[in-house]
A and B are shown apart, each in its own frame.
Chain A
């Protein structure tokens, strides 16, 4: 390697976050990576990026590279170029907005087309905090989303980036699946090799949050 700083790409678990504008992709990423919400929520333009070292159930540590994308359709061309080499994706919709759920099939098709062939996709219904005490706010039924996920053979979770409910579970489960696939794929480097573990896990150090 020319540069001592060079990171070996095979070490990474690249995850992209996609879904319509305003479903809470940036919130999910920040909640997961930093353990808190973004100080100020602004619409994502282009892409944003974060990294986190994660310990999987089997004790293996992996480095997740998370790419958050702009949701507006006009940016689909630019964001989809970042799907390349993505081994996992969260397709996010807002459980209180039916339209955002209607778009998920299109997002999944885009991913299948542009990401790694064995990309692990998880459908995530976000903002469940809004429906907890007000059932009528829910516009996408959990069963419907579950069925759609089964039909498309993707994982499924519901979450709330605002309360933090189930956010860790979404990412951890996705990474777990990605790990499984990567270690089963012949000819691939063992993803556990050569990892440097310099990132702290903020969820284990809640006081460490710098936001």
Chain B
């Protein structure tokens, strides 16, 4: 991690000594190592902090986002996500009304786009996309039983199809199912408690009334809309958002770890070889489901800046791989990068990844001059 010390060591102001302390602390730890968590007292404190903010008549969203950045207790997550993505307003008085209206709107969408149509009435594109969605829903989060439940799959399929119909700019694109998957868990958990380790189908799930399930579906749908708004251009033709992210990631790697940059060039390794899915699916494929939910806490707390932090997080993940891959040839490196050992990560490791990413973001965004991002760069050769 010498590059970090070198890079940040050049700064003399107070702030950078703060970075230095942070970074020294951060990088004394090996990235691919398991760590223990033991913090019930902390959990209790966190719970109280959330209670305090959520009890207010008009919720202070900034305070809430600040807390959210460091992770939300499962009990409050659904409510907090709805608030911070601005699906429901911070004023308690109007929350119920808005929620009711949004859920009614969604029921109307079901009628308009889904129910009245049988196979024959759909045009060819719609038939094609519904087949893709159906097929993807069967293959979403394959490690967890919750996603194998036929009722949940049917709900998931319908909401993705409605999303497709309501977003003609991009339509449904494979990967949106991955982005939506944590929402399914979190909003179901509001009504039927889910075990966040096993993600099994809850024992009382079959007793959940249909109308409640439709409300849950509406919540998932609306929050998915809000999340995708921030990364819309990941999914439009030729994925300009992903290309833009690549430009930034390349520049950052060049500054932060030049030997790694050089290595990628020598080996002709292109970001497309491994980072496309990382960027597009918000890293959701790379971590176990419980961690992707935790990851979204932080991402959602960023609001409009979500995509920006995501770029820094992806960059940081690549930097962490450097020691592993530099000794490998092109094929070995790409295979390693496509199958990261991050499925074994703990929450502590993920939080570290995010905090470091934030340190980078804070630094580079404040000193924009370091990172001259030229739009023209977007079109240059895709080799790193």
Residues of A whose CB lies within 8 Å of any CB of B are: 2-3, 5-7, 9, 21-22, 40-43, 45-51, 65, 70, 72, 74-75, 77-78, 81-82, 99
Contact = CB atoms under 8 A, between A and B. Distances in A.
Nearest to A46: B276
Contacts of B175: 43, 45
B276 A82 contact: no
B363 interface: no
B174 A3 contact: no
Contacts of B276: 45-47, 78
B285 A21 contact: no
A83 to B, nearest CB: 12
B266 A46 contact: no
A41 B285 CA distance: 12
B338 A72 contact: no
B136 A45 contact: no
Nearest to A21: B132
A78 B131 CA distance: 22
Contact of B331 (A22, A47, A49, A72): A49
B249 to A, nearest CB: 15
Nearest to A63: B331
B253 interface: no
A65 B269 CA distance: 14
A75 B281 CA distance: 14
A74 B135 contact: no
A138 B249 CA distance: 47
Given A22-B132, A45-B174, A49-B335, 7 more contacts: A6-B266, A6-B330, A7-B329, A45-B175, A45-B280, A45-B281, A82-B272
Contacts of A75: 173-174
Interface string B239-277: 100000000000000000000000100111000110011
B328 interface: yes
B266 A49 contact: no
A75 B272 CA distance: 12
B343 to A, nearest CB: 11
B93 interface: no
Q: Which 3 A-B pairs have the closest CB atoms?
A: A46-B276, A40-B142, A45-B277
Contacts of B171: 74
Contacts of A48: 338
Contacts of A70: 174
12 contacts: A3-B267, A42-B285, A43-B177, A45-B178, A45-B280, A45-B285, A47-B276, A49-B335, A74-B170, A77-B237, A78-B272, A82-B272
B273 A49 contact: yes
Nearest to B263: A3
B327 interface: yes
Contacts of A50: 335
Nearest to B276: A46
Nearest to B134: A22
Given A45-B174, A49-B338, A72-B174, A81 B285 contact: no
A54 to B, nearest CB: 14
B308 interface: no
Interface string B127-150: 010011001100110110000000
Contacts of B272: 46-47, 78, 81-82
Nearest to A45: B277
B135 A5 contact: no
A123 B128 CA distance: 22
Contact of B280 (A40, A46, A65): A46
A5 B267 contact: yes
Interface string B265-297: 011100011001100110001000000000000
A81 B128 CA distance: 24
Interface string B65-99: 00000000000000000000000000000000000
A81 B381 CA distance: 11
Given A21-B174, A49-B273, A41 B331 contact: no
Interface centre among B173, B178, B330 (most CB of A within 10 A): B330
B382 interface: yes
B266 A72 contact: no
A43 B136 contact: yes
A5 B327 contact: yes
B267 A6 contact: yes
A143 to B, nearest CB: 26
Nearest to B333: A5
Contact of B273 (A5, A45, A47, A77): A47
Contacts of A43: 135-136, 139, 174-175, 177
